[in-house]
């Protein structure tokens, strides 16, 4: 864990720790590999945050250990996966901020991962290893945190990078896809001509929650004849069932949390 120990921010232990790692067998079914159960992988989750972006007050929020334990998935013994060490470091580097952007939400903050060069590199390497021989010519990244992970992956696998953006950001001619929010709708846009029919694409974002933005991005690409090979995210919020919303489109995540 990095140096985010300034006066007003204390993380006793970083969050969520269900290291579920999904792989797809050649037949296309998804298989869940569980990392071995070692005592170091599971600790009570406690995030203490003092201070807030918009107030001078200090408050601390402690998640109860009991509810934290409910969130931990007991592992079945398995032979050590060579990627385990990297996943543990990645998971540990993600910071949880309670009640952001609104009360009751536990925000998964990847900025702390970006402050850890080894963990950040491991994150990219895990994606690159998976995709480099899959004939992927397009990496589409979703604004704005998809812009952080997408380009390094694209550069490493020889693909182009295509930003998928909120409305009115892209300057040229665009196609738009609307998607539903909890209240109302929003839109994602992609430049006309960025991708060609028949190209094989990945869609990247830092996190999948309900899957709404990922679905919109997939639609944009499929509408112009691109094959979306897989969606890839660092984090999955499993109980929001984004995976279901993606339907039969494959999803690959590094860390899954509830």
Active site residues: 145, 182
Distance from C-alpha of 139 to C-alpha of 233, rounded to nearest angstrom: 12
Among 59, 76, 78, 107, binds another protein (CB under 8 A): 107
Helices (H), the chain: 65-71, 84-93, 111-114, 117-131, 146-157, 212-223, 242-245
**Nearest alpha-carbon partner for 236 in 50, 53, 9, 73:** 73
Residue 54-83 contact track with another protein, rule CB under 8 A, x = bound? x-----------------------------
CA dist., res. 230 & res. 176, Å (int): 21
**CA distances, 186 to each of 96, 178, 213 (Å):** 26, 6, 9
Distance CA 224, CA 239 (A): 31
β-bridge partners, 228 = 201
Hey, which residues between 189 and 208 contact another protein (CB under 8 A)?
A: 191, 194
Return the number of the residue (141 or 212) whose C-beta is nearest another protein: 141
Instruction: State in angstroms the smallest separation of the CB of 197 from another protein.
Output: 15
Do 208 and 150 meet the contact criterion of CB atoms below 8 Å apart?
A: no
Which residue number, 27 or 55, has a Cβ lying nearer to another protein? Answer: 55
Name the token pair of 80. 């050590």
CA 81/CA 96 separation, integer angstroms: 26
CB under 8 A: which stretch of 21-29, 73-81, 104-112, 247-255 binds another protein? 104-112
Span interacting with another protein, options 79-87, 118-126, 178-186, 250-258, rule CB under 8 A: 118-126
In the complex with another protein, the residue whose CB is nearer, 143 or 222, is 143
Single residue of 1, 63, 115, 240 touching another protein by CB under 8 A: 115
Q: How far apart are CA 9 and CA 47, in angstroms?
A: 10
163 is an interface residue for another protein by CB under 8 A: yes
Query: Which of 5, 180 has the CB closer to another protein?
Result: 5
CB 50 within 8 A of CB 8: yes
Q: Which is nearer to another protein, 29 or 168 (CB)?
A: 168
Contact range with another protein by CB under 8 A, out of 116-124, 178-186, 206-214, 224-232: 116-124
Decide: is 8 part of the binding site for another protein (CB under 8 A): yes
At its nearest, how many Å lie between another protein and the CB of residue 81? 23
Q: How far apart are CA 195 and CA 190, in angstroms?
A: 9
Residues that bind another protein (CB under 8 A): 2-6, 8-9, 49, 51-54, 95, 97, 100-101, 107, 109, 111, 114-117, 120-121, 124, 143-145, 147-149, 151-152, 154-155, 158-163, 165, 168-172, 191, 194
């Amino acid at each position: 864990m990095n140096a985010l120990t300034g006066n007003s921010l204390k993380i006793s232990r970083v969050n969520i720790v269900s290291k579920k790692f999904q792989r797809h067998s050649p037949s296309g079914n998804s298989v869940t590999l569980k990392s071995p159960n070692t005592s170091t992988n599971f600790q009570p989750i406690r995030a203490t945050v003092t201070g807030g972006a918009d107030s001078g007050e200090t408050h601390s929020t402690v998640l109860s250990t009991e509810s934290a334990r409910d969130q931990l998935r007991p592992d079945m013994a398995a032979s050590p996966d060579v990627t385990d060490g990297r996943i543990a470091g990645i998971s540990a580097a993600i910071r949880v901020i309670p009640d952001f952007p609104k009360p009751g939400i536990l925000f998964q903050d990847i900025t702390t991962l970006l402050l850890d060069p080894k963990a950040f590199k491991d994150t990219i390497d895990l994606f690159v290893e998976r995709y480099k021989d899959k004939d992927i010519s397009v990496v589409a990244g979703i604004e704005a945190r998809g812009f952080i992970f997408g380009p390094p992956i694209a550069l490493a696998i020889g693909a182009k990078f295509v930003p998928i953006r909120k409305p009115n950001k892209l300057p040229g001619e665009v196609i738009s896809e609307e998607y539903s929010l909890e209240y109302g709708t929003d839109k994602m846009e992609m430049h006309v001509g960025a991708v060609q029919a028949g190209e094989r694409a990945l869609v990247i974002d830092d996190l999948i929650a309900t899957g709404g933005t990922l679905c919109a991005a997939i639609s944009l690409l499929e509408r112009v004849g691109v094959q979306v090979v897989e969606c890839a995210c660092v984090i999955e919020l499993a109980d929001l069932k984004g995976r279901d919303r993606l339907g039969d489109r494959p999803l690959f995540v590094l860390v899954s949390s509830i």
